[in-house]
Amino acid sequence: MTKALDRIGITAIGESATELAEEGRRAEKAGIECVWAPELFRSSITQATWLAAQTETIGVGTGIAWAFTRTPFVLAVSALDIDEMSGGRFRLGLGAGVKRLNQTWHGVEYGKPAPHLKEAIEAVRLIMEKAHTGDPIRFEGSYYDIDIKGWVRLQKPVRERVPIYTAAVREGMCRMAGDVADGLVGHLIASTRWLDEVMVPSFEEGLRRSGRQRADLDFLPGVCCAIDDDEQRARDAARRTLAFYATVRTYMPLWELHGFGANAAACGEAFKKGDLEGVAAAISDEMVETYTAAGPIDKVRERVAEVAERGDGVGVTPPTYFIPPEQVAEYQHKLIEAFGPSAGPA
């Protein structure tokens, strides 16, 4: 699957809306295939809309939109809008997010995330397919009971199907992706061993039980990359992003697979005390080597190629947590220059 290296995705990054647009155009000029708008400090939907308006050829996706915090109707018409505005370049990336944020930030039901997200994808797809027909839209499930009558979307879709991708990292969500999603966006901290032993077998199981083929799922694993001739500086930046994820209980199995459970627990304890330096200090150099690509360009290229062998494309993301914005931008620019097929002088 070496062709996966011809399909590079990046995360949308920019301190301001102007910078966000500039980075999108920079990636487009370099030949990056898709820019994915994250969700936490900004809305992934509004970012994707802005990027679609500011670019001409690059794919634009939500990477990811929290599915349970918006209704399937809102997600469906938003996806159809952005696909129209981008001329058919949009990918709707949906994810569950973590339970605590769904419940305490948004006040929405979380339930069992994989079945919940499966229903959300099915409901969104149904609404998108029928929106312009005027036909009644009926969806009945455990989480959604939708009954739309007497409504027709006057704007015709620009293509037959807007692809729906889902974020996944653990077994249940990967199986669900194999069941119903058009694509699966992997997590940037998944090691190659985690890909081989957990993610790929799980989504293949979902494909089999749903009667689908491997070609029916676009798998895009990701890598956290810090290109830097100063290898220690690169490792320290990557270490801080790992530290952020180590404080989230959901990811404990990823650490435990490689024997790093105690490190992750120490991260969590330091975080509870407000000791951010202690959080980063709990991440060993061995962990950085296991989960990220940090150092000179040749080393990073080798690791990205290794991950790309497992997928149909690959996402490259700079370290983003607990480092200055200018350092994030520096690593983002280096990634675009290193992996954009048409990259040239900025």
In the chain, alpha helices (H): 17-30, 44-54, 72-86, 99-100, 113-130, 171-180, 192-194, 200-209, 231-246, 252-257, 261-272, 276-281, 285-291, 297-308, 325-339
Q: Give residue-wise pLDDT tens across range 187-205.
A: 999 999 999 999 999 999 9
- Residue 345: pLDDT band by 50, 70, 90 thresholds? very low
Whether 1 shows a pLDDT value over 60: the answer reads: no
Find out whether 114 and 176 touch, Cβ atoms under 8 Å.
Answer: yes
Find out whether 8 and 33 touch, Cβ atoms under 8 Å.
Answer: yes
Computed from CA positions of residues 339, 341, 344, 346, in that sequence, does the dihedral angle turn out positive or negative? negative
Q: Give residue-wise pLDDT tens across range 306-341.
A: 999 999 999 999 999 989 999 999 999 999 999 998
Find out whether 195 and 310 touch, Cβ atoms under 8 Å.
Answer: yes
pLDDT at 278: 87
Q: Give residue-wise pLDDT tens across range 133-143.
A: 999 999 999 99
Whether 123 shows a pLDDT value over 90: the answer reads: yes
Specify the CATH superfamily of domain 2-226+297-339: Luciferase-like domain (3.20.20.30)
Q: Give residue-wise pLDDT tens across range 146-183.
A: 999 999 999 999 999 999 999 999 999 999 999 999 99
Q: Which residues 6+ apart lie within 8 Å of 44 measured at CB?
A: 37, 38, 62, 63, 64, 65, 93
Return the higher-pLDDT residue of 68 and 1.
68
Rounded to two decimals, the pTM is 0.95
Nearest 5°: CA angle at 28, between 25 and 33? 140
